[in-house]
Structures are given as C-alpha cells and as structure tokens.
Amino acid sequence: MVSSSNFATFEGVGVGTTNFGYAILGNEIISYTGVANGSITGITTRGIDNTVKSSHSSGEEIKKYEFSGVSLRRINKTHDMNSPAATVVDPKDLDFYHIKIDMSSDGEDRDGGTLPNRFFSSTKRDGGINVTASQNVQFETLTPNVTSITPNETSIGARIRTISATSVDGEEQSFVDQGFESITIDDQNHFETPRMIASKVNEDRQLSDLPGNKSMTFEVLMNSSNPNVSPVIDLDRVSTVLTTNRINSPVSNFASDPLVNQTGQDPCASSYVSNLIELENPSTSITVQFASYRRNGSDIRVFFKTITEGSTENSMDRDFELFPGFDNLDQFGGVINKSNNNGKPNDNVSASIDVNDFKDYEFTIEELSPFTKFQIKIDMVGTNQAQPPFIKDLRAIALA
C-alpha cells in the first residue's frame, strides 16, 4: 500500500476499536481498527457479509468499503422498504422507489447511538450495470397461454392461487393469500384487487405458510368422460401474460397543483392527450363529452388548451387549463372562481356499479378568447390499480 491516509477515517470518524473501518480486498470484505506506515492494522474479522476468505497476492488493490461517506455494508444488502420508511415527499411511484439506509445496523450505530448521525456527504451516481435489485411483478389481469389438445369428450379448466399486492397509491395489504380462484384458460381474467408474483427473497420471508413458499400456483384441471382418451398439455408451451394498470393518485388538489397543467410535468400516470385540433372558424367555447365506467376510489379530470387566431405560438409553450367543475359553477352555469377550476364534469356523476355501467360525462367552458386551435387532456387517477376508469365515445366540440 502506497498511502493509508484515506483509510484513517470511516464514515467521518477516526477508525479504532469503537469505530471499525471496512475495506474490500479482491472480493473479500475485512474490518480493521487502525493505519500505520502505509498499512492498515488491527484486522479483526475477515470474510464479512458472507464474502469468501481467500489468499491475496502482493500488490492486489484494496479499497475502503464506503460510498459518499457511508459504509457499503449498509447499502449492498437486502433492504426492507418499510423499515426504516423513506422520509421523502414521494417515496414511490410506478417507475421508481426510494430506500432509506438503515444507519443503525451492519456497522456502528449512527442513528441515535454514541456516534454522531451520518448522512451521504454528497449526491452521487454510481453502480451502473452492476446494480441489481429483486423485483415483485404486480398484475391485475392474467391471460393464460396453454397449448393443449382436447379430443371429443374431454375438456380442460384452470384455477389459480395468488397473493395480494398494494396499489402504488393504495392501502391494500400485500402478501395475503387469496386462495384458489377459477379462471378462463383462453381469455383475459380480471381481478378486483391487485395481485403479484413476489421475488424469491420476499417469498422466503413472507410466505412461509404457503406450499413451497410460492406466490402463484397455476393448476390445470383435465377432464374426460371416456376412459380411452385424455386431454394433452404441452408443458414446454405453458405461460401466462400478466398485465398491470398504470394508474396512480398523486394529486390531492387539482385546482392548486401547478404541475398538472404543465406539458410534460403532470405526475398522473394515466393521461390521454389529443392531437392539436385546427378550426376553420374561430370559437369561444369547448364541450367535451364521453361515457365512462368509473368505480369508487377513481376519478377523471379534463383539461383544455387554446391558441388564439393568428398566433404563431407553439402549443408546447402553453399550459393546460382545467374545466370549471360542477362545484365551481353557479346556477346559471357561470364560473364562480377561475382559480378554483378543478377539471370535474358539469354535473356530479355517481360511481359505476359494474363494468357494464357506463355513465355520461360532460365538461363545458364558455366565454373564452376567440381561438382557432385547441387540445384536450384527460387525467385518470385511482387508488386501486385493479379498477381503472374506462372511457368510450369521446367527443370534443368547439362552438362560436
């Protein structure tokens, strides 16, 4: 070792018997308590964290096992996302999650112990393709793909055993056994609540009461009324297609959240944006109509954007505006307070009862400055990813 000065401190405190330092030599993690004359001293433990204790050649590179001032022992391990819980504004969404590092374990206690609290010393990006993470696969629709032969007097059926999942903005409890349910083997099967195939680490930790700790059991039932013939299944061609709905509920107040209006900044995962519609004659009002299936716990908000006659403005430079909403209209249909526009329909529409219960929605804005181009955006939000809104028969009408 040419210089050991970098090893004299670990997580911001001098190394010693009350603050071990950790280093990685080849693929082996070791602990030490001091440095002297270009060497580390007081090597107390080798093969830490199940790394392999092995011989090392002279001149082999040794590195302090630390990232941005935090021990990599606290980072390169299995994390529980709920303990400690992340303390950021948005701890998770459909495409990301935050992990809070447990600073009380895998080293000296730096979260309320005798040593001072420790945080990352700077924002860094590292790891790249070497970073791996286990993953649960959530789904709300399952489509079996079973290649089979069913001669006359035979048939096949199926049922499935799954566990529950939690919607990204829901409060369902995960890892609860949902038991066996009959499914259609040659069509989509929609569930009323989110389900998942858990990662191996979660199956082993959470599902000890299930056979084989398995989060999904797919059972095919073969029947025959003739003892001489039987259905046939090609086990090399059995699979399932799992579908999840990209719907979240990140906005508490559409009227006051500026991000929902900005192009490219809307946090709602399920949005429809129309093409820019050009008119031959200027208009001053817009009406949007559609039929929708919408369950309790989900909502639909509608926006518009206009470009005035003769303007050379790019539509990307304009923000969307919310339709007024039934609770911001007076008895004559006038807007009570423009700043309270919330994107709701003209009338309060009750939730649907079942998937065939489509109800009519209408959104109107009047007395706009004359425009010759307009665009519509629809945000769909919900707390149950298994029950997203459906929309059909969409119409957008501009009137003079």
Domain count, the chain: 3
Greatest CA span in the chain, whole angstroms? 88
- Burial class from Cβ neighbours inside 10 Å (0-12, 13-18, 19+) for residue 318 reads middle
pLDDT digits (tens, 9 = 90+) for 300-353: 999 999 998 777 677 667 899 999 999 999 988 889 999 999 999 999 999 999
Q: Is residue 164 situated within a structural domain?
A: yes
Does 319 share its domain with 205? no
pLDDT digits (tens, 9 = 90+) for 34-63: 998 888 899 989 999 999 999 988 888 899
Q: Is residue 253 situated within a structural domain?
A: no
Q: Is residue 252 situated within a structural domain?
A: no
Does 310 share its domain with 357? yes
Does 141 share its domain with 127? no
Domain boundary among 115, 132, 149: 132
Residue-number span of the structural domain to which 338 is assigned: 258-399
Does 118 share its domain with 225? no
Reported as a pLDDT band with limits 50, 70 and 90, residue 128 is confident
Asked whether residue 398 carries a pLDDT value surpassing 70, the answer given is: yes
pLDDT digits (tens, 9 = 90+) for 4-35: 788 999 999 999 999 999 999 999 999 999 99
> Of 287, 294, 270, nearest to 358 (Cα)?
294
Q: Is residue 362 situated within a structural domain?
A: yes
Q: Is residue 251 situated within a structural domain?
A: no
- Burial class from Cβ neighbours inside 10 Å (0-12, 13-18, 19+) for residue 53 reads exposed
Strands (DSSP E) found in 153-311: 154-164, 177-183, 189-197, 217-224, 232-243, 270-273, 277-283, 285-293, 298-308
Asked whether residue 133 carries a pLDDT value surpassing 50, the answer given is: yes
Q: Is residue 178 situated within a structural domain?
A: yes
Does 357 share its domain with 372? yes
Does 269 share its domain with 393? yes
Does 102 share its domain with 153? no
Domain boundary among 243, 275, 302: 243
- Could you tell me the CATH number of the domain that includes residue 360? 2.60.120
Does 126 share its domain with 144? no
Does 239 share its domain with 293? no
Does 354 share its domain with 232? no
Mean pLDDT, rounded, of the chain: 92
pLDDT digits (tens, 9 = 90+) for 168-227: 999 999 999 999 999 999 899 999 999 999 999 999 999 999 999 999 999 999 999 999
Q: Is residue 248 situated within a structural domain?
A: no
Does 301 share its domain with 222? no
Q: Is residue 315 situated within a structural domain?
A: yes
Helix ranges restricted to H, 106-252: 200-206
Domain boundary among 78, 97, 132: 132
**Length of the chain as a residue count:** 400
Does 295 share its domain with 365? yes
Asked whether residue 163 carries a pLDDT value surpassing 70, the answer given is: yes
